[in-house]
């Protein structure tokens, strides 16, 4: 976890929340605390996108919730995912369109 923390500090994150459990778990105290802490015009920054959502559907729901609250989202290792930029906002719209299940 040290490289992740170092990257977040280098990105000048003002507050860092940690979860030691897998992203696949429903209950994550660090994520819950981060979501409660965020205010309009804040940006939730994660080291890697798979650290946020349990699935694509969960990830899309979280990013949509952030957007409704006026909160940006940025992934440090997935450069194209940054809803605070016009390019990143466009690419996040595209990955929202990907199928979230294997149904035909």
Summarised one tens digit per residue, pLDDT across range 30-56 is 899 999 999 999 999 998 887 787 777
- Select from 37, 95, 86, 21 the least CA-distant residue to 64: 95
Average pLDDT in the chain: 79
Cβ–Cβ < 8 Å for 81, 49: yes
What ranges do the domains of the chain cover?
A: 2-13+29-96
Least-confidence region, from 25-29, 68-72, 74-78: 25-29
Return the CATH number of 2-13+29-96, one of 3.60.60.10, 3.40.50.1390, 1.10.3720.10, 3.40.50.920.
3.40.50.1390
Per-residue confidence (pLDDT) for residue 104, from 0 to 100: 42
């Amino acid at each position: 976890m040290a490289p992740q923390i170092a990257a977040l500090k280098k990105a000048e994150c003002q507050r860092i929340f940690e979860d030691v459990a897998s992203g696949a778990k429903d209950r994550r105290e660090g994520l819950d605390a981060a979501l409660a802490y965020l205010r309009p015009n804040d940006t939730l920054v994660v080291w890697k996108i798979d650290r946020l959502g349990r699935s694509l559907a969960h990830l899309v729901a979280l990013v949509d919730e952030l957007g409704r609250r006026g909160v940006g989202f940025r992934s440090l290792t997935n450069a194209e995912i940054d809803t605070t930029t016009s390019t990143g906002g466009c690419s996040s719209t595209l990955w929202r369109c990907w199928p979230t299940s294997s149904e035909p």
